[in-house]
Structure 1
Amino acid sequence: MIVVDQTFHQNFLFIVYNTNTLYYSLRRIWMKTNQESRKITIMTVDDEPEIIKSIERYLRFQPQFSDVNFVGAQSFDAALSMLEDENPAIIFQDINLPDGNGLQFVKQAKKKYPMIQFIVITGASDLDRAMEALSFGAADYVKKPLAMELVGRIATEALGRCDRWGELLWEEYLSEEEAGENSEG
């Protein structure tokens, strides 16, 4: 069991809520102004537009993804530029992109946004590279051709992790707000 003293806890929350550091992604992706206002974004990065459309089309008709924003990028550069604007919580990432290595994208993005749930898309011959992506922090992988039922299951698990992190941060935020109100009044 980890024992956290009050000073550490306050410093951690200060970092999460007030600075642009490693924990900034927690605040950007999951911070809520109220319980109902959160809308998660799922991004698919693949040079094949059919893959992007297939994932969105399949997930959109699953009830747990009815209030999710879907975006897609067909290149490494497009994905990098969308990362900041779209704040995706879940990214389906193809390993082989024409203008860059998908593994490098995972590695780069995880440094700045450690809580993004990456699901690596790989060909049968890329299994070693998929394992490498997992070592960089990817949550899971799927092989092409995509089995959409498996894509749905993995995306649902990733969405559950996002929700758990969101609930934890929301509870922390509320308790800090309450503590602030009590100390003022």
Structure 2
Amino acid sequence: MRNTRIMLVDDEDRLLSTTKKLFEKLGFDVFTCTSGKKALELLEQEEIHVVFLDIKMPGMDGIETLQRIKKKFPFVEVIILTGHASMEAAVEGLKLGAFDFLIKPVSMKELLENVEEASAKIYRQKQRLLSARKEGSS
């Protein structure tokens, strides 16, 4: 799963920098953005598989960003990562298609487990799609 490409979206530069370095040491390609708008722009330019997305950000918040990501990039898995947890935000995020909802601070082990589970889900979805296309062309 180390070929999984990750994007971290958070308005805290220090968190982005530290988490990016940790994932890169494990062999992942990691992209960072400080806003939902920039995240959507980057998704247009790069193949990204898993997005860690903060809820509370200036401008476009995480929930709106999640909605736009899932609408335009349905195979991208989004993991909400926030220090401002509320049950309402968690439920709304999960209803909108978030893979998981994690509360900061979170361990690198937990982040890695989520990346691996999300990557496995993406792989299964793509395999099903390929199988359906093969059946449709026979």
TM, length-normalised to structure 2: 0.83
1:92 equivalent in structure 2: 52
- Structure 1 pair 149/127, CA: closer, same or farther in 2 (3 Å)? farther
Q: What is the aligned partner in structure 2 of residue 168 from structure 1?
A: 128
Q: Structure 1: any 5+ residue segments left out of the alignment?
A: 1-38, 180-185
Measure the CA separation in 1 of the matches of 2:41 and 2:122.
22
- After the TM superposition, which residues 25-44 of structure 1 pair with which residues of structure 2 at under 5 Å, given as runs? 39-44=3-8
What is the aligned partner in structure 2 of residue 46 from structure 1? 10
Task: State percent identity of aligned pairs.
Answer: 28
Letter of the structure 2 residue corresponding to residue 131 of structure 1: V
Normalized against structure 1, the TM-score is what? 0.64
**1:41–1:86 Cα contact (<8 Å) kept:** no
Q: Tell me the C-alpha RMSD between the 2 structures.
A: 2.3
Q: Distance in 2 between matches of 1:46 and 1:87?
A: 19
Aligned to 1:71: 31
- 1:128 paired residue number: 88
Name the CA distance, whole Å, in 1 between partners of 2:52 and 2:113: 13
Q: Per the alignment, in what secondary structure is the counterpart of residue 96 of structure 1?
A: coil
User: Corresponding residue for 1:56?
Assistant: 20
The structure with the greater share of residues assigned to helix is 1
User: Is 1:153 matched up with 2:113?
Assistant: yes
In the aligned structure 2, how far is the partner of 1:139 from the partner of 1:71? 19
- Matched-pair contact (CA < 8 Å) for 2:81–2:103: yes
Q: 1:54 to 1:126 in 2, by over 3 A?
A: farther
CA deviations 1:63-119 (Å, max 9, x no partner) are: xxx3x4211100122112112111321110000111221100001111112221110
- Unpaired runs of 5+ in structure 2? none
Instruction: Note closer, same or farther for the CA distance 1:123–1:152 as it changes in structure 2 (3 Å cut).
Output: same
Q: 1:170 offset after TM fit, Å?
A: 4.5
2:70 corresponds to: 110
How many residue pairs match? The answer is: 136
Give 1:156 shift: 1.1
Contact (CA 8 Å) 2:80, 2:101: kept in 1 or not?
yes
